[in-house]
Structure 1
Amino acid sequence: MCGITAYRGPTAAAGRARVALERLEYRGYDSAGIAARRADGTSLHVRTVDGVASLSGPLEARGMDATTAAIGHTRWATHGGVTEQNAHPIEDCSGRLFVVHNGIIENADVLRADLLAAGHRFATEVDSEVIVHLLEQALRPGRGLGDALAEAVRPLEGSWAIVALDTRSGALAGTAHGSPLIYADAGDGMYLASDVGAVAPMIDDFRVLEDDDVVQLDGDGLRWHRADGSSRPRGRWPVPQTALLASTGRHRDHMGNEIDEQPAVARRVIDALAPGISDGRLWRGLGLPPLDGIDHVAVLGCGTSLNAGRAIAGAFGRLGAMPTRSLIASEAGHEVWEPRTLVIAISQSGETADILRALERLPRDGGPVLALTNNASSSLARRADAVIDCLAGPEIGVAATKTFIAQVLTGVCVALSGLSTTGRVDPNLFASELRALTATPDALAAALETWRPTMTALASDFSRASGFLFLGRGGGLVYAAEGALKLKELSYRWAEHQPAGELKHGPLALVDAGTPVFVIDDGDPRLEVDIAEVTARGGRVVRIGERVLRVGGLPLHLPRRGPSWGPLETVVPLQMFARELALRLHRDVDKPRNLAKSVTVS
């Protein structure tokens, strides 16, 4: 969601903060800004609603190269409209202090009233502005910026990652509580950022702020105040090699290149994890208890990650005959948890607020938590009992594509490895599952090759359709759900997924002459009746996943028997269709409206 960058060094601080900010654009945002201190003690402050690139001209015109400390921010609006006035960084009454903030201040209205009564002047509608005025009060003569920030956050309720700039001294200070913030020394200067990806090319390692840690960067270097009272900095994390990978290809948009990259991502995951499946080494290496000691599996996620979890649950349930359930993280607080339940918490960023809040509500005497994330140093990874990196590499497009593939395959590898240590699975069936797994990169590549022209043509045919229906049964249902979600995210047209057997219980009323209906075929013979119901009412069926032979010149549809996690390759044409339709409708496929990549508010 919102992105934070900050830099302190001998020169060009504002430019370095802007470059780092560009690497956070993938999160999605609607305004951006930078505040900096020049070497002569003067400040500059630039904000925009037109994108990070539009900051370059004003920064250069105002002496960007002469700056020695800077903070930057990309904002995804929660409190207050999308205006330049509401964009971060936000300044205090005097123009000396600036702050950037990710998260939500839940008691902002109460604090605002108190600060107004004390004589402070507010210039924005955002909850974050209370922070800079609290900091203004706390920064008394002789007090360091870090100590003042520690005092300023005491009355806050909610979540925050905050970086403050004192333009008089040139000091930076940062703190975090329920929202990510990292520190890194680049040799030629010091960085703070909400995501290591912002600074990965410039550093070798980084440190993660735990809740209520405070760091101060000034002329004396780094000062670290830990929540436990220690002044010792946290341990270093190496920059993951996948953070340096970038998707390139023939498309002008990132999403098109990331769709094309999926066979390579699948190969990376399988090459890394498959050798540890058959002997259970992958499962044991995670430090999880034996699967024979686990009675239930629950997958926890939001959006695309929840769909990936449902596919992973198929491996435990259909192959291992284990009771499973899939939980929407924002609703998990209402669940009654069985003992001896393995919770697989899935988040691409590892910072999804709904996931983190759901983990806080788990019973203490429950089972272990496995984090499946694309960020092994994230808040989710640090709070779980075990973590596995899904190895997708950076994904710039806000709507997930290659991270979905990576999540499913990573989770399936873990599931198969765990099941290999039990007597739950027939050896012949297990061998068949392994063959299907290792064939996945080729299946994805074939789907790209086979479906590309068809989906381009269908996007043209269906460009005027007001809505779409996605159907599936069994293992195909989760891919119908993901296809509908992609179409909604990218095209802004309504799209609904349904179990095909539910058509006659209500959703069939949506089908009219010409209604596009995508059917994900996992080999269930009952789909033939469902398709007939749609066709009889004039719906246009696009069937994905079946095998077709021609006998006597007539098409003969054969059942497609896929693995326990369903026909993963069917998601590829659905992604391509959503992108093609969105491009035809002149949508920004990399940055869909109203959406963010890392949703750090709940």
Structure 2
Amino acid sequence: MCGIVGYIGTRDAYPILIKGLHRLEYRGYDSAGLALIAADNKTLNVYKSRGKVADLERFAQSKDVTGFIGIAHTRWATHGEPNDVNAHPHYSQSENLALIHNGIIENYSTIRTELESKGYTFRSNTDTEVIVYLVEYIQQTNHVDLCTAVQLTLHQIVGAYAIAVIEKGNPNCIIAARKSSPLVIGIGDNEFFLASDATPIIEYTDKVVYLNDEEIAKIERDKPLKIINLKNVIITPQIKKLAMNLSQLEKGGYPHFMLKEIYEQPKTLLDCIRGRINVEGNNIVLSGVIDNRDKFVRASRIIIVACGTSWHAALIGEYLIEDWCRIPVEVEYASEFRYRNPVIHADDVVIAISQSGETADTLAAVELAKSKGAFIYGICNVIGSSIARATHSGSYIHVGPEIGVASTKAFTGQVTVLSMLALTIAKEKGSIPHKKYEEKVQALKNIPALLTEVLKQSDKIKELSKIFTYAHNFIYLGRGYNYPAALEGALKLKEISYIHAEGYPAAEMKHGPIALIDTEMPVVVIATADRIYEKTISNIQEIKARKGKIIAIVTEGDTVVKDIADVCIEVPKTIEEFEPIVSSIPLQLLAYFIAVNKGRDVDQPRNLAKSVTVE
């Protein structure tokens, strides 16, 4: 959940590292730091500061930031509170080495105790510091070079890591390694770049190498990239070409990335379906499913594992697959799935959903299901990510980089891919009449245009948000396909405004939550024109009878709910199954504008990180 950047080449490293940290700040922003081997090739300078990257820049203004090699880090605290001492990079005991780390070392306490018994004194409360101390201890006692010392160290480490190390007096080498935490190397013209993901690299090169688990990279000036694994096997680097472009990483005139990404959704969903739905809008070709047709058609059960927003998308996927494909589906929190000894059969299909493709709990769930012989299908956004490489097959959602920590376009992209997946399986199984199949494909093809219409409500929602900015609690209600959308709406508000919000199936109000309803409790109800519209109206009446303040999401032309609710936001009509995609846009906007009104850091809400690479 931290951001790693590194550079070695002929340019000044400091500006590249700082710009890279800004690009990766969404991954962690409790503290930041960098290490540079100065231009004299003799001094190893480490500068770090609690707070954002801008705080680090201010701290380093009067410092020696010369040098052509360096590593840098943005931290999301796990061990030790966010402060200057616990920030990365960490020096070794002699200050000859500096190291940055993303992940968690599970046996750090044992290693720390052992090193303390040998006379080492630790400066921080982090698990990371034991790595660099152990590297130095092994280097000195075994009289080996830095790469070998790192390799021997990692044999003793238990946990997840992406690390980068540099050494005073050795300005020609960075050693990097990974296990269960992402690391990508950019290959330029007589220079190399290192990062947690490709966002800091794309400005300089489109050629990258993704490190695999237990691989170590020796990145040397004026030499080809060398990779070995922990068993000392030489690995031939596989160079990939990035499809990302720099404009995707800029705000494009919007005040926040989150607002930009909300407005991008008509385009990102077009990108998501492009090449998968034909021009006529009557057929889907999802190669990841078709190439594994028998696995899906013969599946006795589908298990979907995910976390957070992806879990909400998974719930919608459950409804879609059971409705159209008639295959039983279970949706599991990945963090619970991996620890509860689940029953998994060889004829099960496990679908893993993750925006980043690096979510630690989801990745662990994938490995568990693979060990039981299940077929694993991945749905993620980041090309070349760990889940994309660990699964047997899958689909990218193709919505472009999502920088705002609170997911928006990734959610709608995930639901769109799940819709295409369910329709493809249903067609292959023959569980859906062909005419009905074509109607649903056409409806999905029309969704991007409908989202453009929904976004025209933005000014109205902006004004509406002023009324409810200072509420202390919210309840979100939905039924059927709109229940997961209500959960997602509540999550968005919690994440970025810090207002407590809960989502419920509307009918469950009577079983406890209705006790909370009073004049101070805003209730957001998704009341679009679906099969249980009348039931939802009854639930709204129950709230109104207790003087609750109702914000309703309704289908255009609705007159019944408008007479009951305090405020209505209209969305275009679509088929019931795709209402969550359309309804999610006003919920995202409502959360966004309330958070802005409260002066929150919308793109980087407190305590959260974009890519959850630790348990």
TM-score, normalised relative to structure 1: 0.94
CA distance in 2, matches of 1:51, 1:146: 31
The corresponding residue for 2:498 is 492
Residue 422, structure 1, aligned to residue 435, structure 2: no
CA distance in 2, matches of 1:73, 1:365: 37
The corresponding residue for 1:292 is 297
The corresponding residue for 1:54 is 55
1:138–1:151 contact (8 Å) kept in structure 2: yes
**Structure 1 segments unaligned to the other structure (5+ residues):** none
Deviation at 1:309, TM superposition (A): 1.6
2:202–2:244 contact (8 Å) kept in structure 1: no
CA distance in 2, matches of 1:488, 1:150: 43
The corresponding residue for 1:585 is 598
Deviation at 1:318, TM superposition (A): 1.7
CA distance in 2, matches of 1:448, 1:238: 34
1:280–1:421 contact (8 Å) kept in structure 2: no
Q: 1:339 to 1:224 in 2, by over 3 A?
A: closer
2:155–2:230 contact (8 Å) kept in structure 1: no
Q: 1:307 to 1:554 in 2, by over 3 A?
A: closer
CA distance in 1, matches of 2:193, 2:564: 62
CA distance in 2, matches of 1:297, 1:273: 22
The corresponding residue for 1:535 is 544
Residue 382, structure 1, aligned to residue 389, structure 2: yes
2:199–2:249 contact (8 Å) kept in structure 1: no
CA distance in 2, matches of 1:554, 1:17: 57
Most deviating of 339-348 and 135-144: 135-144
1:13–1:67 contact (8 Å) kept in structure 2: yes
Q: Aligned residues, how many?
A: 599
The corresponding residue for 2:32 is 32
* CA-to-aligned-CA distance 1:116-135 (integer Å, 9 cap, x gap): 11111211010100001001
The corresponding residue for 2:67 is 67
Match of 1:393 among 396, 400, 403: 400
Match of 1:183 among 182, 185, 190: 185
- Three-state SS of the structure 2 residue aligned to 1:202 is coil
CA distance in 1, matches of 2:73, 2:604: 17
2:383–2:396 contact (8 Å) kept in structure 1: yes
The corresponding residue for 1:403 is 410
CA distance in 2, matches of 1:487, 1:283: 36
Residue 469, structure 1, aligned to residue 471, structure 2: no
Q: 1:29 to 1:401 in 2, by over 3 A?
A: same
Q: 1:521 to 1:379 in 2, by over 3 A?
A: same
Deviation at 1:159, TM superposition (A): 0.7
Residue 359, structure 1, aligned to residue 366, structure 2: yes
Letter in 2 for 1:204: D
CA distance in 2, matches of 1:173, 1:162: 8
Letter in 2 for 1:414: L
1:286–1:386 contact (8 Å) kept in structure 2: no
Q: 1:33 to 1:204 in 2, by over 3 A?
A: same
The corresponding residue for 2:535 is 526
The corresponding residue for 1:45 is 46
1:468–1:496 contact (8 Å) kept in structure 2: yes
Letter in 2 for 1:320: C
Letter in 2 for 1:251: Y
1:315–1:565 contact (8 Å) kept in structure 2: no
The corresponding residue for 2:317 is 312
- Three-state SS of the structure 1 residue aligned to 2:322 is helix
Match of 1:322 among 304, 320, 327: 327
Percent pairwise identity: 33
CA distance in 1, matches of 2:260, 2:386: 29
Deviation at 1:152, TM superposition (A): 1.5
Most deviating of 202-211 and 571-580: 202-211
1:3–1:21 contact (8 Å) kept in structure 2: yes
Q: 1:99 to 1:555 in 2, by over 3 A?
A: closer
Most deviating of 184-193 and 152-161: 184-193
Residue 448, structure 1, aligned to residue 452, structure 2: no
* CA-to-aligned-CA distance 1:306-353 (integer Å, 9 cap, x gap): 111222222212222221121111111223235522211011111100
CA distance in 2, matches of 1:135, 1:45: 18
Most deviating of 218-227 and 262-271: 218-227
Deviation at 1:561, TM superposition (A): 6.4
Letter in 2 for 1:481: L
Deviation at 1:439, TM superposition (A): 1.1
Residue 272, structure 1, aligned to residue 275, structure 2: yes
- Three-state SS of the structure 2 residue aligned to 1:119 is coil
Letter in 2 for 1:257: K
Most deviating of 182-191 and 246-255: 246-255
Q: 1:506 to 1:550 in 2, by over 3 A?
A: closer
Report the aligned-residue RMSD.
2.4
Q: 1:337 to 1:243 in 2, by over 3 A?
A: farther
1:319–1:425 contact (8 Å) kept in structure 2: yes
Q: 1:471 to 1:247 in 2, by over 3 A?
A: farther
* CA-to-aligned-CA distance 1:448-476 (integer Å, 9 cap, x gap): 102x2332222111122110000111011
Letter in 1 for 2:73: H
2:278–2:284 contact (8 Å) kept in structure 1: no
The corresponding residue for 1:124 is 124
Q: 1:250 to 1:18 in 2, by over 3 A?
A: closer
Most deviating of 398-407 and 195-204: 195-204
Q: 1:549 to 1:516 in 2, by over 3 A?
A: closer
2:487–2:503 contact (8 Å) kept in structure 1: yes
Match of 2:512 among 482, 506, 511: 506
Q: 1:554 to 1:480 in 2, by over 3 A?
A: closer
Deviation at 1:363, TM superposition (A): 5.8
* CA-to-aligned-CA distance 1:527-559 (integer Å, 9 cap, x gap): 1111111000001111113343559x9799999
Q: 1:284 to 1:489 in 2, by over 3 A?
A: closer
Match of 2:589 among 569, 576, 579: 576
CA distance in 2, matches of 1:561, 1:55: 49
CA distance in 2, matches of 1:227, 1:278: 50
The corresponding residue for 2:5 is 5
The corresponding residue for 1:241 is 244
1:288–1:368 contact (8 Å) kept in structure 2: no
Deviation at 1:273, TM superposition (A): 2.1
- Three-state SS of the structure 2 residue aligned to 1:517 is strand
Match of 1:349 among 333, 348, 356: 356
TM-score, normalised relative to structure 2: 0.92
The corresponding residue for 2:165 is 164
CA distance in 2, matches of 1:505, 1:242: 50
Deviation at 1:60, TM superposition (A): 5.1
CA distance in 1, matches of 2:121, 2:416: 53
CA distance in 2, matches of 1:349, 1:533: 41
Deviation at 1:32, TM superposition (A): 0.4
- Three-state SS of the structure 2 residue aligned to 1:272 is coil
2:288–2:394 contact (8 Å) kept in structure 1: no
CA distance in 1, matches of 2:143, 2:68: 22
Q: 1:183 to 1:238 in 2, by over 3 A?
A: same
1:472–1:521 contact (8 Å) kept in structure 2: yes
CA distance in 1, matches of 2:115, 2:371: 40
Deviation at 1:285, TM superposition (A): 6.6
Deviation at 1:486, TM superposition (A): 0.2
Letter in 2 for 1:116: E
* CA-to-aligned-CA distance 1:541-599 (integer Å, 9 cap, x gap): 11113343559x97999996624344311111111110111111111111100000000
1:247–1:258 contact (8 Å) kept in structure 2: no
Most deviating of 115-124 and 236-245: 236-245
The corresponding residue for 2:21 is 21
Letter in 1 for 2:273: I
Q: 1:104 to 1:341 in 2, by over 3 A?
A: same
**Structure 2 segments unaligned to the other structure (5+ residues):** none
1:305–1:346 contact (8 Å) kept in structure 2: yes
1:242–1:393 contact (8 Å) kept in structure 2: no
Deviation at 1:232, TM superposition (A): 3.4
CA distance in 2, matches of 1:342, 1:9: 46
The corresponding residue for 1:260 is 263
Match of 1:209 among 208, 211, 215: 211
- Three-state SS of the structure 1 residue aligned to 2:199 is helix
Deviation at 1:414, TM superposition (A): 2.4
